């Protein structure tokens, strides 16, 4: 039995978006307008300083529920222009309306995205046959590779294993952001398909790798990206002790970033570090002083200092 080196083409092909992706926040100006210069600067930081192989733009952490379609398109263009030559740009386009999702997907492709993140339609709870039809229609609509986003605790509906297996037959459905928290289901799908699984929960990245995942779409990776990449590379190299040590080190921030809604604390941390972020838009609320103090403590526990 041969073992591919992590960087051989065979292994690279199984990682269509690399190892570490961050669901990037959307920087706003002090008065809540889109900050495109800030977005370009933040994207550069995440790629050059935090080692991200790809960035997810217009995800929930990017406050997609409160940005307009026009803002989404402008944001993709700005980030693609800034880092698209050295990182993959994955555009969040999922909604609970198939027609609207297709419109966003088409616009994202024109704006320079390299891939699409498509979340399970939320709140209206379609049956599995509806999910199959929705994801297939979106994948048919552009030439871009698609990452499914399975997050039943937000969407209200899981993508069932059999549905996932059928979707894997589509040539452009290549990956899954897995926030189901069910490693048995993950194991079944990774054993039956070639879908590239990315952990959608920062703290489950290492366990997910052990059952066939290839990386992470993270939130705390705004701050932990470089060390998370080291953890994944250690796991790839068979150095489980080093991977486990990094997992344990980063656990306070992997979990602490979600003490309230993730974007709130990411923006607080970026603002403290002098990086572009700005305020959140309602119904989100900016972090309180106590929450920022706790974030500093969580960062310190992970060996990462936030500037005072």
The residue annotated as part of the active site, out of 149, 180, 198, 229, is 149
114 has pLDDT over 70: yes
What is the structure's pLDDT at 49?
97
Give the alpha-carbon dihedral of 194, 200, 205, 211, to 10 degrees: -30
pLDDT (average), residues 247-262: 98
pLDDT of residue 308: 75
CB-based contacts of 94: which residues, under 8 Å, 6+ apart? Answer: 101, 117, 118, 119, 120, 121, 149
Query: 129: how many CB neighbours lie within 10 A of its CB?
Result: 9
Instruction: Look up 177 and say whether it is catalytic.
Output: yes
Q: pLDDT tens across 74-94, in order? A: 999 999 999 999 999 999 999
In the chain, what percentage of residues exceed pLDDT 90?
94
| Tens of pLDDT, residues 272-281 | 999 999 999 9
Angle between helices 240-256 and 289-301 (to 10 degrees): 170
pLDDT at 4 over 80: no
CB atoms within 10 A of CB 244: 14
What tens digit of pLDDT does each residue of 293-304 get?
Answer: 999 999 999 999
The per-residue pLDDT for 127 is 98
- Pull the structure tokens for residue 136: 């297939």
Pure H helices in the chain: 9-13, 36-48, 69-83, 98-111, 128-141, 152-155, 161-167, 183-192, 205-210, 221-236, 240-256, 262-272, 289-301
Model pLDDT, residue 112 = 98
Residue 20 in 3-state DSSP?
Answer: strand
- Give the pLDDT score at 307: 81
Residue 149 catalytic? yes
Query: Residue 204: exposed, middle, or buried by beta-carbon count in 10 A (0-12, 13-18, 19+)?
Result: buried
- The string of pLDDT tens digits covering residues 180-190 is 999 999 999 99
The single residue of 110, 122, 125, 177 carrying the catalytic annotation is 177
Query: Are 131 and 173 within 8 A, CB to CB?
Result: no
Q: Is residue 65 pLDDT above 90, yes or no? A: yes
- pLDDT for the residue 12: 41
């Amino acid at each position: 039995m041969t073992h591919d080196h992590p960087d051989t083409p065979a292994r690279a092909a199984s990682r269509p978006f690399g190892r570490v992706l961050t669901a990037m926040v959307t920087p706003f100006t002090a008065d809540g307008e889109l900050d495109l210069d800030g977005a370009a600067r933040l994207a550069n930081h995440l790629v050059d300083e935090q080692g991200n192989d790809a960035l997810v733009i217009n995800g929930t952490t990017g406050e997609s529920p409160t940005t307009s379609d026009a803002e989404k398109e402008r944001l993709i263009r700005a980030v693609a222009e800034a880092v698209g030559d050295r990182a993959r740009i994955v555009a969040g386009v999922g909604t609970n309306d198939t027609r609207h999702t297709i419109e966003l997907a088409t616009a994202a492709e024109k704006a320079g995205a390299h891939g699409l993140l498509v979340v399970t339609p939320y709140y209206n709870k379609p049956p599995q046959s509806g999910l199959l039809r929705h994801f297939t229609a979106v994948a048919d609509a552009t030439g871009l590779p698609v990452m499914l986003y399975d997050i039943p605790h937000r969407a209200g509906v899981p993508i069932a294993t059999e549905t996932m297996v059928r979707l894997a037959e589509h040539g452009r459905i290549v990956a899954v952001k897995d926030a189901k928290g069910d490693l048995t289901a993950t194991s079944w799908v990774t054993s039956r398909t070639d879908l590239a699984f990315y952990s959608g929960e920062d703290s489950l990245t290492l366990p997910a790798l052990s059952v066939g995942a290839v990386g992470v779409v993270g939130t705390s990776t705004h701050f932990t990206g470089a060390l998370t990449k080291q953890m994944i590379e250690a796991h790839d190299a068979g150095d489980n002790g080093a991977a486990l040590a990094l997992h344990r080190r980063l656990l306070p921030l992997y979990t602490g970033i979600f003490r309230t809604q993730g974007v709130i604390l990411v923006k607080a941390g970026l603002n403290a570090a002098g990086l572009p972020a700005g305020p959140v838009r309602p119904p989100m609320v900016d972090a309180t002083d106590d929450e920022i103090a706790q974030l500093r403590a969580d960062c310190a526990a992970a060996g990462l200092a936030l500037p005072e």
